[in-house]
Structure 1
Amino acid sequence: MVTVQAKLIFEGSEDKQRVLDLMRRWSSCMRYAYKRLLEGHKRNELKKQLQGIFNLNSRYVDDAIMKAKSILTSCKERGENPKKVVFGGRQLFEKLQKRHINGKAYKKLQLKWQEKRKGNLYSRGDRSKKGNLNTRIEIDEDCTRLRINVGEREYVYARIQPGWKIKDGRYIDRNQLLEAISICGQPYSVQLKLKSGVVYAYFAIEEVFPQPAITRANGVIGIDTNAYPRHVAWVETDEHGQLLGYGRIPMPELESGSFEKKEYYRWQYAHMIVQMAKEKQKAIVIESLSIKDRGRREDFSGRRSRRIRHYFGYRSLLEKVKLLAKREGIEVIEVNPAYTSVIGMLKYAPQFMVSKDVASSYVIARRGLGLRDRIPHNYMMFLGRLDVNELEELKEYVRKVVKNTYVRKKQLREIGRVIKFLQSLESEAERLSVPLDGTSTGSRGKNHNLWQVLKVAVVTPLSPERVLRDLSVLKSLLVSGQVGKTYKGASSCFLGQGLWLSQIPPAGAGKA
């Protein structure tokens, strides 16, 4: 939806008063309809009844019922009690109930609540009427006006004062938008609101996007958002998923500043990403974001977690990318972000010698093409050759090093689950032949994900105290199935791990 806000200037106080009276009656009609819907009345039953009670035409009444129904549905979806809805705002209402507020402050607060409660009017557009019948935009040589139906064939005209607006990160003239809305012949909705004695109008029209001309048939660009440090990693692939190029876009402007400043730069970065996809003739693949950075207690209460999510605005950035790409006719593919970082870290970062953020964007791009990422054979050889005692050693080792870290405790539980998984397999040959492609399926895999187990078993011994950034050390294991340089009789071979790792023979080695 494209929305344009504007201020209404009336020719006289009498015209303004007639519009305010219409807004008051419509608001009362909407509240009355809400109460009747709670009692189980139907729309057709209410429509004729409300026209007589509030002296409104059928279109206004129908819009009021529709608005009341949407509020009722929204309350039920949020799990709230619909009988406790406060029209005008619960927060303002509760402030008015506090006894320590009096005098001018109380009157100001009361006026604000009354305006939010009674100063509303909503009018839907109609395709058959080529716009909006009750509130119609009219373009004159001198100015743009809004014609408001206040009675039976009675109209009030108000001059629209739109000014300028930042749209998609660029300044545009709102008058041009209003003219385009009025002559396009598409239905547009108009909402009037009273704020501090001034009537504002909000014009909304549904945007029509062209059919995508740039699709995944030409290849894709995978986008991975990273809140800390703030940047976007991107990867370009062909239609078969082969890596063609990669890079990163740093975003230092999103570190601090006002909301308007950060919103402006989000639009600029979104334009940059879409322009790159347009030049390369590639579709865009993004994460289907409901990213939940829960903090240490997994309840979104961590101060650092809240600060990162607040300043970065990853969801807002990707929504802008989606919108701009649709306008340019570029296909946008959303994929499940689960385990993209882990797969990129273990599989593609050491293979292409890139950062884990770039590798994660490559996994996202491959998912957009419908490709699956299986665990490499040498990694499975590595897991398959660990017996139960060696996994217990690993578990005890990690527990001693990082016993107070929440994330590591979660990973320890994954190791415990894989112990049961290996115990359920009867022979070494069966361990190596089990097909594992990320998230395991069936009775053995319903309680754990082997990508996560592999991350703990391989990465944690290499870097137990901090996140591993340089993943080139994994290349020898990825290619040959062997980590580090082993020495006969040595008790440790690589960054402090115990005997369990030094005893692992390389992949393909025969039995003694």
Structure 2
Amino acid sequence: MHYENAKAKVEFTEKRIAKAKSPAKIAKLQKRLEKEQRKLAFWQKHLDNNTFPPVVFGGKKLFQERCKGNITREEWQEVRSNRYLSRGDKTKGGNLNTRIYEGQDQIYLDIAADPVQKGKSVRYNRITVPIYLAQKPSKKTGKINGINYRQMVLDYIKTGSAYQVEILRRDGKYYVHVSIEEEVPMPYNHKGAFGVDTNPDGLGVTQVDCLGQYRGSEWLGQGEWTYARTNRRDNRTCEMAKKVILQAKEKGYALAVEDLKFKNDKSVMAKFKRMSHSFVWSKFLKAVDRSAAREEVPILKVKPAFTSVIGILKYQHMYGIAVHEAAGYVIARRGLGFDHEKIPKMLLDKLVKKKPEFKQMTNWKQWSAVKKSVLAKIKKITKRKKVNSLVSWQIHRKNVLGIG
């Protein structure tokens, strides 16, 4: 995977160099290409020798800092020994080495420590410590806000099923992470779908009935996603996922989302790296999967190709909705099985010249060809050197189609 990504980056940068005209830009791209070629040679060497890159427990950067004497031996050892993981086993009562149990209104963690030889058998000294399973009771009612995870874990442990325990040491404090398997109920038969277009600053949500007809839309803006701290951003993401799931459940609809996958195989600019790093799509999709399973809401994952293009060129003007809501409409229809989106007759007549050849193309290639024609028209009208986006489509729509 690393080799393929590195190879794709080199090929992509070589294409950019071939297209570049400015000497300054070519020089910058050449430096980037040299760096990417060194990375490709690094992975190629390991492939040829059938070896793996060395792994440093504690992190390569901190190891280099230790070699330079910038951190102490104690700090380095702290990083290397701050984690303990115990895998569960159903045949041994859930977890043999780290057991969790409740007694006298207190929860305890029993840990197998040093081995002791007793005759032919080996026994372990046990360390028992009290732990706190977090829960958040309301100050007004005294009831638990949201899901009672504490009781969920205790009920699960009583069944004897396997559970995993991870102990982390941070700043002199110990944290215990308990992983259990949650039963997932069967989702209901949906009457339609909510299409969700995920963006760095919010969600475009569109309702579609079982016949693929538009039934409403809204923009759920989340400006905090782009600048808030990690914990705050994660919290807002999960809250938004829960909100959308409950709306779909109330209507008896499924939730259609894009199956987004950002591969690290493009030599992208710093601006895109910053955007994709803070992009919450992965966190949102995980929160949606978890919340939907608990609420019995069906999840429909669709390919994201051309959802925005189709939404802008076909549905945005038709329903008078925003770009992301139009994309959400296409996602919902695709989730319900309406995969083939016909080209509107007006676009076909005004933008397509070779109609027999056009009809032989696949649906996505047809939309790609229409998009290129629209961009070429806008470029001619605006007299710009380059037009890569359909953002100005609504402004120049009448002029492009000759109906103004």
When the two structures are superposed, what TM-score results if normalisation uses the length of structure 1? 0.58
1:330 partner SS: coil
Note the 1:49-198 alignment, pairs <5 A: 82=52, 84-99=54-69, 101=70, 106-107=71-72, 110-118=73-81, 120-150=83-113, 151=115, 152-162=122-132, 164=134, 175-195=150-170
Matched residues, percent identical? 28
Whether 2:220 is the aligned partner of 1:257: answer no
Contact kept? 1:149, 1:156, Cα under 8 Å: yes
Whole-angstrom CA distance in 2 between matches of 1:245 and 1:219: 12
Q: Contact 1:237 / 1:244 at 8 angstroms: preserved in 2? A: yes
Partner of 2:333: 366
1:299 and 2:267 equivalent? yes
How far the C-alpha of 1:354 sits from its partner, in A, is 2.0
Identify if the C-alpha distance between structure 1 residues 281 and 113 changes in structure 2 by more than 3 Å, giving closer, same or farther: same
Aligned residue in 1 for 2:178: 203
Residue-pair matches, total: 338
1:292 deviation in Å?
A: 6.9
Distance in 2 (CA, whole Å) between partners of 1:237 and 1:464 is 39
- Aligned partners of 1:202, 1:80: CA distance in 2, in Å? 36
- Contact map agreement 1:373 1:438 (CA 8 A) in 2: yes
- CA deviations on 1:71-94 (whole Å, 9 max, x unpaired) are xxxxx99x9953511223222211
Matches within 5 A, 1:268-279: 268-279=239-250
Displacement of 1:287 after TM fit?
Answer: 0.7
- Structure 2 distance, partners of 1:365, 1:182, is 40
Partner residue, 2:199: 226
Whether the 8 Å contact between 2:90 and 2:161 is mirrored in structure 1 is yes
In 2: Cα distance, 1:241 partner to 1:180 partner:
43
CA distance in 2, matches of 1:231, 1:438: 29
Are the equivalent residues in 1 in contact too, given 2:351–2:374 (CA < 8 A)? Answer: no
The CA RMSD measured in Å over matched residues stands at 3.4
CA separation of 1:88 and 1:381: change in aligned 2, threshold 3 A = same
- Is residue 2:354 matched to residue 1:438? no
Q: In structure 1, which of residues 311, 322, 332 is the aligned counterpart of residue 289 of structure 2?
A: 322
Could you tell me how far 1:195 is from its partner in structure 2? 4.5
1:343-383 alpha-carbon deviations (Å, 9 max, x no partner): 11111112222222211111111111121113233323323
SS in 2 for 1:91: helix
Aligned counterparts of 1:144 and 1:341: Cα–Cα separation in 2: 51
With over 3 angstroms needed to count, the CA separation of the structure-2 counterparts of 1:452 and 1:282, relative to structure 1, is same
Distance (Å, rounded) in 1 between the aligned partners of 2:149 and 2:328: 38
Q: Give the letter aligned to residue 438 of structure 1.
A: N
Query: In the alignment, what sits opposite 1:450?
Result: 369
1:138–1:146 Cα contact (<8 Å) kept = yes
* Cα distance, 1:288–1:436 mapped onto 2, change above 3 Å: same
Larger Rg: 1
In structure 2, do the counterparts of structure 1 residues 153 and 475 end up closer, same or farther at CA, with 3 Å as the change threshold? farther
Q: One-letter code of the match for 1:370?
A: G
Q: 1:380 aligns with which of 348, 352, 367?
A: 348
Tell me which amino acid in the other structure corresponds to 1:180: D
For the 8 Å contact 1:289–1:337, the answer to whether it is kept is yes
Q: Is the 8 A contact 1:232 1:249 kept in 2?
A: yes
Distance 2:280 2:383 in 1: 30
Q: What are the Cα deviations for residues 409-456 of structure 1, in whole angstroms up to 9, with x where unaligned?
A: xxxxxxxxxxxxx5xxxxxx7357x3445323xxxx9xx932432442
C-alpha distance in 2 between matches for 1:475 and 1:281: 39
Deviation (angstroms), 1:264: 1.7
Write the deviation string for residues 372-395 of structure 1: whole angstroms up to 9, x where unpaired: 11323332332334xxxxxxxxxx
Q: Which runs of no fewer than 5 residues in structure 1 stay unpaired?
A: 1-75, 386-421, 423-428, 486-512
Q: Which amino acid aligns with 1:449?
A: S
DSSP-derived class of the 1:82 partner = coil
Whether the aligned pair in 2 keeps the contact of 1:353 and 1:472 (CA below 8 Å) is no
CA deviations on 1:301-352 (whole Å, 9 max, x unpaired) are 323x344334442321232122211111111111111111111111111222
Structure 2: gaps spanning 5 or more residues: 1-45, 116-121, 137-144
Contact 2:378–2:396 at 8 Å: present in 1 too? no
* 2:41 corresponds to: none
